[in-house]
Amino acid sequence: MTQTEDYIKEFNEKNEFLLGPKSAFDFQEIYLADFLKYVFARDTHDTDPFEETLSSEYLAWRKKKDEWVARMHDWRKTHDKSEPFEEKINYDDLPFFRYNPIAIEFTDRRRKDGSRIQVHTIITKDDQNCLDRIEGKNFVISSPITYVGRNRTGKNARYLYAFTVDLDGVGMKQIQDVIWQMLPHKLEDGHIIHHSPVANIIVNSGHGLHLYYLLKKPVPLFQSNIELLNKLKKDLTNLAWNAYTSSIKERQYQGVLQGFRLPGTKTKFGETIRAFYNEDSELYTLAQLNEFTKHEITKIGALTDKEVLELEKGRYNPNGVTLKEAERRWPEWYERVIVNGNSTPRKWHIKRDLYDWWLRRLHNDKENIVQGHRYFCMMALATYAIKCDISEEELKSDAFSLVDRMDSLTRDEDNHFSKEDIQDALQAYKIGYCTFPKNSIEYLTGLSMPEGNRRNGRKQTEHLEEARLLRDFRRTRAKKGAWDEHNGRKKETYANSKKAWIVAAWRYEHPTSSNKSVCAKDTGLTRPTVRKWWRGVEELYQISGGAHVHWHSGVTPEKVGGLFKQFFLPDYDMTMAEADGMEMTFKIGIEDNGWYDQEVEESWEEDILRNGRI
C-alpha cells in the first residue's frame, strides 16, 4: 500500500468514527451550503450576513462597482498603463450594506512574475452558481468572517462568527482523544469539568481537523479587537493541541483572520473534505470560551474580565482615546488620516542590518523552523525587506536561495515547499506590511524574538548616563524634587510576593517534582519568575528550624502567604483562615532529609488514618 493510500484509508476511518457510536456525540454530516448556514446564520440577528444577489442593497452596490469599472476603462484609454487609477468607490450614500463571507481559490495558473493567480468569490445567499464555483476545486479557503467589498483582507474584515483551531497530525488514536477531552468528567469533589470546549463543527481536512467554536454573537473586527481575539485563540489552541490529540509536538498558531479549506473541496491528497455538525452542541459567548483558558489556581485566563466585557460590548479601546482627543494629541495624524482619508502607513527607514539578521536566521540549521511555519518565515523576510528598503530584486534572489533549506524541513511527503510557496509569501512585499509588529512575527513564525533596545549606537552605560542627566534636568527645571521622591518600588520578598506564594503552593502540591517548566505552565507564570522564587519552601524549612508542613484541607497561595509572613516578618501572627487545616511536624533526634521527607509523609498519612484526624 502506498503512502497516499494509507492517508486515504485513515481519512475515511476518521469520517466513520465521527459518524459512529464511539464518537459519543451526535454528529451529522453537512455539505457546503449547510456548513455556511451553520457558521454564519443566527436566529438572534435581524438580518442574514449574506447579500442576496437580487436584493436592492446588492444591486445598488453592483451598480456603483460597474460604473467605477467603466470609468477606469475610459481613463486607461487616454493614460499610460504604468500610471495608477487612483479614484476610489464611495459607498457612503448607500442606505444599507451587508457584509459577506469570501472564499479564495488558489489556482494552478501563474502570472508572469510566477505568483499564483487567486480567484475571490463573494458568497451570496441562495446562489447555487456561487457554490458551484467552489465545490470540487483543489485549493479553496475561507474564514468564519464577513468582509466589506470583494477582497479578503484584514482591512476589509468586519465580523468574526467563530474561532477555528487547526489541529494537525491527527490520526485515529488522536481523534479519539480529541473527543474524549470534550466530554464531561466528574472529579472526586463532585465537580464536572471539560478539558476543552465542545466543537460545534469538526471538519476532516485530511491530515488534521478544523475545530469550529461558533459564537452566539459575532465580534466586530476592529484592529484593537484582533490582538485580544488572537490571544484567546492561542489559548484555545493550547487546550485542543496536546500530546494526546496530535502526533506533532510543536503547536502551530494562527490568527483569527486565517482561512481554512472548505468542505466540498479537495485535501492535499485528492479526497473531498468532509464536515460534521455536532447536534449536541450550543453556541458560545466569549466569556464562556475564556473560562476554559483560566488556570485552576490563579484563575488567570487568556483575557481579563474587563477585556471580555469590552469585546462583547463592541469596540475595545485600550487607551480610551476619542477622535476629539486624538485630534488634540496627534494633529498631524488626524489631518492626514481622518481629514484627508490617507490611511497609507508611514514607515521608519530602518538599517538593513535587521533584514540581514533575519536572513541569517533562516539559513541557520540550528534555528527551530518547522513545517507549518515556513511560509510565515518567508513572509516575514518580505516584511523586513519593505521595512529596510531592500529592493524587490534582492529580496527575490535571497528568498529563492532558501527553497532547498525550507524543503529539507518537510515531514509529510505531500507538503513539500516549492518556489510557488516562496512566490506567494513574497506578496507581503507591500507598504501595508511595513508596520507588521514584532510580536506577530514571533507568533506566526514560531521563532523567538530578542528584547529590543534603542540606544542609537551608544553603549548601555553611556546611554543610561545621558538618560539620567536629562531626567534630573527636567525635574530641576520643573522645580520638583528627586525623580522617585524616595518612594520607589518596594523590594519583593517571600513575605510580600504573591508570585512567591503561588510557586510555593505548587511545590507543596507536587513535593517530588523539580520541573520548573511544568510549574510555570501549570501556574501561568514565566519560567524566570518560577526560578526566582523556587527555593521558598527550602528557605522556610531553614528559618522554621526544620518544620514539615502538612495541609489537611488543601494548600492555597493565600495560606502559604500567611505562613511565609509568620516566619519572615517580625510580629506577624497568622489569621485563623490562613492557619486553617495546616499542621507542622518535626523530626527530633534523628537524621532529617530536608523540607520534604517521604518517610515523614507516609507516617503522617498513617497517623491520620489511624486516629481519624482531618
Phi-psi category of residue 131: left, alpha or beta, with phi > 0 → left and psi -120 to 50 → alpha = alpha
pLDDT for residue 62: 74
Give the whole-angstrom CA distance, residue 170 versus residue 242.
Answer: 11
pTM: 0.56
| DSSP β-bridge partners for residue 162 | 214
pLDDT for residue 534: 93
pLDDT for residue 543: 84
Give the whole-angstrom CA distance, residue 110 versus residue 114.
Answer: 5
pLDDT for residue 259: 92
For residue 118, count other CB atoms closer than 10 A to its CB.
16
For residue 143, count other CB atoms closer than 10 A to its CB.
24
- Residues 500, 494 contacting (CB under 8 angstroms): yes
pLDDT for residue 603: 47
pLDDT tens profile 40-63: 887 654 445 555 555 566 677 778
Beta strands in 90-156 (DSSP E): 102-110, 116-122, 140-142, 145-147
Q: Which three cell numbers stand for residue 228?
A: 485580544
pLDDT for residue 483: 66
Give the whole-angstrom CA distance, residue 449 versus residue 443.
Answer: 10
DSSP string, 439-459: HHHHHHH----PPP---TT--
pLDDT tens profile 581-607: 788 776 554 445 566 655 544 444 444
Q: Which three cell numbers stand for residue 367?
A: 534555528
Give the whole-angstrom CA distance, residue 242 versus residue 251.
Answer: 8
Crossing angle between the packed helical segments 223-240 and 305-313, to the nearest 10 degrees: 120
DSSP string, 346-364: P-----THHHHHHHHHHH-
Helix count and strand count (H, E) for the chain: 24, 14
pLDDT for residue 599: 52
pLDDT for residue 489: 66
Give the whole-angstrom CA distance, residue 34 versus residue 13.
Answer: 23
Phi-psi category of residue 594: left, alpha or beta, with phi > 0 → left and psi -120 to 50 → alpha = left
pLDDT for residue 604: 42
Which residues in the chain come in under a pLDDT of 50? 45-47, 316, 318, 589-591, 600-614
